[in-house]
A = this chain, B = another copy of it.
């Protein structure tokens, strides 16, 4: 298991007329969480696309909106990988507000697509698996 925290402030652009973070904009928080988790282990999603020619479209997502998130709050995005990726990788995401309350939980499942063939890869890229394995064993 590996967990990484990253902070992001809620912008006006992301609020709606309820005065809340719009429910569709949470997906960007999950994206930021997983991209920064990948960066934190010494890899990069950009590199994955540009060098390994692999992209990661989302296959499914489950979200529970527990409490509203408000304008200008600094939200902690806690992203966790619990199992080594195989055909899919699951990112578990928790959003925590400035008061330390858990406000949102999500599970986002992504697959790997070979950008040359545009077919789903049978397995996650080897360097990603390897890196995570090292971290899991620590």
- Compute how far the CA of A31 lies from the CA of B121 in the bound complex, rounded to whole angstroms: 33
Rounded to whole Å, the gap between the CB of A75 and the closest CB of chain B is 14
Give chain B residues whose Cβ lies under 8 Å from the Cβ of A127: none
Q: Closest residue of chain B to A30, judged by CB?
A: B24
Give chain B residues whose Cβ lies under 8 Å from the Cβ of A59: 64-65
B58 near A72 (CB under 8 angstroms)?
no
Please judge, given known A-B contacts A46-B71, A57-B68, A65-B58, whether A24 and B17 are in contact too, CB under 8 Å: no
Give chain B residues whose Cβ lies under 8 Å from the Cβ of A32: 11
Give chain B residues whose Cβ lies under 8 Å from the Cβ of A88: none
Give chain B residues whose Cβ lies under 8 Å from the Cβ of A25: 24
Cβ-neighbour of A18 out of B20, B44, B46, B55 (below 8 A): B55
